[in-house]
Chains A and B, each alone.
Chain A
Amino acid sequence: MKAICWMGKYKVETQTVPDPSIINPRDAIIRITRTAICGSDLHLYDGFIPTMESGDIMGHEFMGIVEDVGSGVGNLRRGDRVVVPFTIACGNCFFCRKKIWSACDNSNPNAHLMEAAYGYSGSGLFGYSHMMGGYAGGQAQYARVPFADVGPLKIESDLSDEKVLFLSDILPTGYMAAENAQIQPGDTVAVWGCGPVGQFTIASAFMLGAGRVIAIDRYEERLALARALGAITVNYADEDVSVLTAIKDLTGGTGPDSCIDAVGLEGHSAELQGIYDTIKTAFLMETDRPVVLRQAIQAVRKGGTVSIPGVYGGLLDKVPFGAAFGKGITMKMGQTNMHTYMKPLLERIEKGQIDPTYIISHRISLEEAPEMYKVWRDKQENVTKIVIDPWLDRAA
């Protein structure tokens, strides 16, 4: 089959690789009909996530048709159409039973690596380093899906692939980000980052009762989408704009009830602290660039909540913990507990209440993907979301 392989920092290639096969009884093989590139893939592309190996197949947002199932999968059959959650969960450990799916104890074969770094290991993820399981990803024509009796969501209506594809990650991620923000009716919520995750976070914040949403980014096309959802936008790169001042101005000097960091470890900043982080990360004294996290903690109102869907990987420098303590804030974060949100969000799509396709800007083939990774990283061509048809025969 064809697949997109990580070949080192800033280097991905479309290669021909062996097809996956059923290994464990609860496995399924999916013939992938649509897959996508995520902001999280950039952290791999840019070399921020350790334990990637040349040849690793990337991708964790995918859906398709069940091709084959193991003897332990009773609820799926060849031919079923499914969306696959990017976190892999067994369904029966202490954490799965508590519905903290992304903390599953039994899905990471390399748990010891994450245990060494984090104390305990989270669940395995598709196509996201050896530390997170060493599983082949979904930017390919086929994928092996473990615990297929628990994860994949069957699509029984005739909704197009594009309408349901984002149930594999970013739609539940945006929703959980808003849920983690503990929004009360009428609250003001500030969201950093208007990428796909930020978009669905803004929409979900309104769904969960926000009175006002302030959206922050520097790309006009993304800010325009945020305004179309009903948010007030702040372009942090505009001359004379200071995000913290803007947020105070827009909240009567009080600060938002909730601040959401939908940017993560590659936060961009042209200010001195950005240069400081770039130098420190280059010398491995710091692993992440937490410019947005710093701002979110600083900006949130007293007793407010900071929700962090943006991914962080390692050691963060100069996080204003005194401000967090001094204001008595709550922070909630983590990989999305996918399995909880997929079905209810599918129902909203089926009822026509939400249509996540509006963020798609590019539809491409696997061959075109290596070039598009660059475009995605540099946010050229007004890119907002790239969807791949792995069977589309179109050369780069």
Chain B
Amino acid sequence: MVNFNEKPNAEPLPRQSGASIILDGRYLPPPEDKDGKLWVRTSALVQGSPQDLYALWRKTELAPLWQEEIEEVVLTGETTSRWTMRSDDTVITWDSEILADEPGERIAWRSIGGDSDNAGEVIFEKAPGGRGTYVIVLQEFRMSKLTSAWETLSGRNPKQAVIENLRHFKALAEAGEIPRSQEAPHGKRGLIARFKRSLYGENVTTPPGTKVA
């Protein structure tokens, strides 16, 4: 038996934590990419309650404010919506359905036809030490012919897009806006400026966050 029991600030461990990060006290790595499926798992510490953050995320129609290249989300039913994504002149659309909706805790979704095959969940967990909320996203894509369009057209690796979208969500929740510098004035650009822009990921327009000033 272990007998080192003085832990004044330890908090009880969840038996199972969101997006399978912890199971029975063990850390589990994210699922591996295989059989044409890509996985991405990302998390952020956000100052806010699980309830408020859940509520912001659940407003599906507001996704264009903080998700990259999402032009429009139209609610088509209680749990369904139609998504339009645009990059330059290429547009793709798909329908999405919410599979699980647990207020203040978790939302899970999947696409149900259209130009993208994806599924995901987001979990809102109280962080230890009263530090706010861990927001954890686990998303998978099936990269069929049609969906590989997503990658090409977004100019961003789709995994990175999930990571960036969570970053934008966090900024919107904490700061009330998303930081942006793509409009910064500048002098004469060099010959490889376009290449550098895409290298830095600056060719993907930062979503608007709160509408302008």
**A interface residue numbers (CB < 8 A to B):** 1, 3, 5, 7-8, 13, 15, 17-27, 51, 53-57, 70-72, 88, 90-94, 97, 105-113, 124, 130-131, 133-136, 144, 146-147
Given A55-B189, A106-B179, A112-B163, do A71 and B174 touch, yes or no (CB 8 Å)? no
Contact between B209 and A24, CB atoms less than 8 A apart? yes
* Interface residue? B14 (CB, 8 A): no
When distances are taken between beta carbons in the complex, the residues of chain A under 8 Å from B193 are 53-55
Which residues of B lie under 8 Å from residue A20 when comparing CB positions?
184-185
List the 3 closest pairs (A to B, CB-CB), nearest first.
A5-B187, A54-B190, A70-B213
Interface residues of B in 172-213 (CB under 8 A from A): 174-190, 193, 196, 200-202, 206, 209-210, 212-213
Other contacts beyond A24-B209, A113-B200: 15, CB < 8 A:
A1-B185, A5-B186, A15-B188, A20-B185, A23-B180, A24-B180, A54-B187, A56-B186, A92-B175, A94-B47, A106-B170, A112-B167, A130-B196, A134-B200, A136-B184
Contact yes or no, A54 B185, CB < 8 A: no
A300 to chain B, nearest CB (A): 34
A57 proximity list for chain B (CB < 8 A): 184-187
B186 near A55 with CB under 8 A, answer yes
Q: Are B167 and A94 in contact (CB under 8 A)?
A: no
Tell me the minimal C-beta distance from B32 to chain A in angstroms.
21
Known contacts A24-B212, A108-B179; A3/B185 CB under 8 A: yes
Which range contains the number of B residues in contact with the other chain?
Answer: 35 or more
Q: B211 CB to closest chain A CB, in angstroms?
A: 8
Give Cα A283–Cα B175 distance, bound, in whole angstroms. Answer: 42
Q: Which residues of B contact A133 (CB under 8 A)?
A: 179, 181
Judged by a CB distance under 8 angstroms, whether B91 is at the interface is: no
B187 and A113 form a contact (CB under 8 A): no
A57-B187 Cα distance, complex, nearest whole Å: 7
Quick one: given A17-B186, A18-B185, are A97 and B176 in contact (CB under 8 Å)?
Answer: no
Residue of A nearest to B45 (CB): A94
- Take A54-B189, A55-B193, A92-B47 as given contacts and tell me if A147 and B201 are in contact as well, using a CB distance cutoff of 8 Å: no
Is B201's CB under 8 angstroms from A110's CB?
yes
Choice from A5, A54, A134 contacting B181 with Cβ under 8 Å: A134
A134 smallest CB distance to B (angstroms) = 4
Q: Which residues on the A side are within 8 Å of B184 (C-beta)? A: 20, 57, 134-136, 144
> What are 15 A-B contacts defined by CB distance under 8 Å?
A5-B186, A23-B183, A24-B180, A53-B193, A54-B193, A55-B193, A72-B210, A88-B179, A94-B47, A94-B131, A124-B181, A130-B196, A131-B200, A136-B181, A136-B186
Residues of A within 8 A of B181 (CB): 109-110, 124, 133-136
Tell me whether B22 is interfacial, beta carbon within 8 Å: no
Chain A residues with CB under 8 A of B206: 109
User: What's the least CB distance linking B208 to chain A, in Å?
Assistant: 9
Give the chain B neighbours of A108 by CB distance below 8 A: 179
- A91 neighbours in B (Cβ, 8 Å): 175
> Are A107 and B187 neighbours in the complex by a CB distance under 8 Å?
no
> Once bound together, how far apart are the Cα atoms of A131 and B196, in whole Å?
12
B164 sits at the interface (CB 8 A): yes
- A107: chain B residues at CB < 8 Å are 179
Q: Are B179 and A146 in contact, CB atoms less than 8 angstroms apart? A: yes
User: Knowing A26-B176, A55-B193, A112-B201 touch, does A7 contact B47 (C-beta < 8 A)?
Assistant: no
